[in-house]
Amino acid sequence: MKFLAIIPLLCLFSPGVVQCDEIKTDEGVLVLTKGNYESAIKDNEFVLVEFYAPWCGHCKALAPEYVKAAKKLEEQNSAIKLGKVDATEEGELAEENAADEIVNWLLKKTGPAATTLASADELKKLVDDNEVVVVGFFSDADNEAAKQYLAAAGGIDDYPFGIVTDSALAGENKVSGDAVVVFKKFDDGRSDLTEDLTEENIVKFIKAEALPLIVDFNHETAQKVFGGEIRSHVLLFLSKEAGHYDKYLENHRSVAKQYRNQLLYVSINTDDEDHGRILEFFGMKKEEIPAARLIKLADEMAKYKPTGDVLENTDEMTAFIDDFVAGKLKQHLLSQDVPEDWDKTPVKILVASNFDDVALNKEKDVLVEFYAPWCGHCKQLAPIFDKLGEKFKDHPTIVIAKMDATVNELEHTKINSFPTLKLYKKGDNKIVEYNGERTLEGLAKFLETDGSYGQAAPDQVVDYTGGRTLEEMSDFLEQKQGEEEDEDDDAPKKDEL
C-alpha cells in the first residue's frame, strides 16, 4: 500500500469482495475502527481512507469537501467509497498504517521544525525511539548554519528533527563546531555533515544518508526508492532462501557508499511472489538469479545490463557504474528471437531486432499494434486486427503488423499504454498515432485516408486558477467537458475498448 506524506493521510485500496458486518456512516463517509477496518476494505471494491486528528486544522478544512465527494460518488453509484479513521482514538490501527509518518507530520506542522534537546536523556530518548533521527548541533540557535538547518527541517516530514546548542552535550556526542548528524539504526549508526551547511546541502545529505546503503525493496521502502531524488538505481536480484543476501551484500556496501550520492543500491528478494512483475519488467527468469541491473528513472527510462560478473567481482561493478556515469553504456533492450514465420500471416510479427527493417521501410505504410498479452483491450482488438490484415494483405504499399511490447523494447519508441496503434508512413517515416474507434471500418479508413482519419490529437494542458473547493473544481471540469462535447458533436463516437 502507498501512503501520501500529508495529513489528512489518504490511501486507496482495491481488494477482492467479501461480505462484512454493517458499518456506521457519517454523512456518507464510512467510520472505520480497528474492529471493522479489514472488513470494510474487503467488502468494497475501492476505499479511500483518511487518517485524521479531530483537532488538526487541515483535517477540519478537508472535512466538508470530503463529505461532498462521498455524496457525489454515492449519487453516481460509484464503486469508490470514502472512509475515515480517527488516528487519535484508533492508535493501533494508525500504527499499522504508517503511524510514524502521521506523527512526524503532526509534530512538524503543529510545533517547531526541530525539537530543542537540552539534556543527554532527551537526545537518547529521541534516538532510541526512532529508526532515523536528524540532530543539528550548533553553538547558537540563531547563527546562520542553524537557520539553514531549520529551513531544511521544515521541508522534510519523514523524520523527527532535534537541535542542540549545549557545547557539553555536543562534545559527549563527538561533535565539535556546527554539524548535522543523522542517527540511524543501520549501517554505521550515524553520518555527520560538518561543512557547507546550507539548506540545499543539508537536504541532500539527509535524503542520502537516512536510507541504508543497500535498501531492501518492499512495500514500506517502495515510495522512498522510486519517489526519491536519486533517479539511478543499481538493482541486485537475490534469493534469501539461497543465501545470496549473506553472500553478496556485505561486499557491495563499499561500492554503494562510494556512489551513494549518484546511485541508490537496492536489493530485491526474488523469493517474494510480489516481485515477479519486476523480474518480468526486466525480461528476467528466476533461473538467472542472482543477477544485477541498472535502471535510470527519467522522462525516458533506460535499463542497463552488466556483461561481467559484477556480483562476485566488485571491481567489475565499479567499472560498470563508472561507464554508466560517463555515459558510455548502451541501453539493454529486450527482444524476442525473430519467429521463422513472422511474415507468413496477414498480420506480420515484429520483435525489437526486426522492427526497424519492417516499420521504417520507406516504400511502405506500416500500421503497428503495440500490445501486451495480458491486456483485455488488446484481446478484444485481436480478431478485428486479424480481419484488417486480411483486408490489406495484398495491398502493395500497406503492411499490418503487431509487436508484444512487454518483451520487445525500442530505443526510439516508448510505449506507455496498451494497445497503442502507430502508422509509420512511407517516404519520410512520419509517425501518426491512431485514436479512433477500434473497429474494422475505423482502422481501414485511417489507412485509406493516409492517417488523417482518427489520428490522436496532440496533448492539451488547460491551466486551472480557480478556487480549491470540490464544487469549484467540479464546475470547471464539467465546463471543459461540455466544451469538448460541443466540438465533437459531429465526430464519430469511439467504442468502449
Cell of residue 353, nine digits: 531486432
What is the distance between the terminal CA atoms of the chain, rounded to a whole angstrom? 29
- Residue 43 carries which side chain, given as an amino acid letter? D
C-alpha cell at 321: 557504474
Q: Find where cell 469537501 sits.
A: 65
Q: Which three cell numbers stand for residue 479?
A: 465546463
Which amino acid does the sequence have at 480?
K
Place of cell 520483435: 351
Residues 6+ apart with CB under 8 A from 457: 435
Helices assigned H by DSSP within 365-489:
376-392, 440-448, 470-487
Place of cell 467488502: 43
Helices (H) and strands (E) in the chain, counts: 16, 20
Please identify every residue annotated as catalytic.
56, 59, 375, 378
Q: Which residue has the cell 526508492?
A: 225
Residue of 300, 390, 296, 373 whose CA lies nearest to 336: 373
One-letter identity of residue 446:
F
Q: What is the C-alpha R_g of the chain?
A: 28
Q: Which amino acid is at 477?
A: L
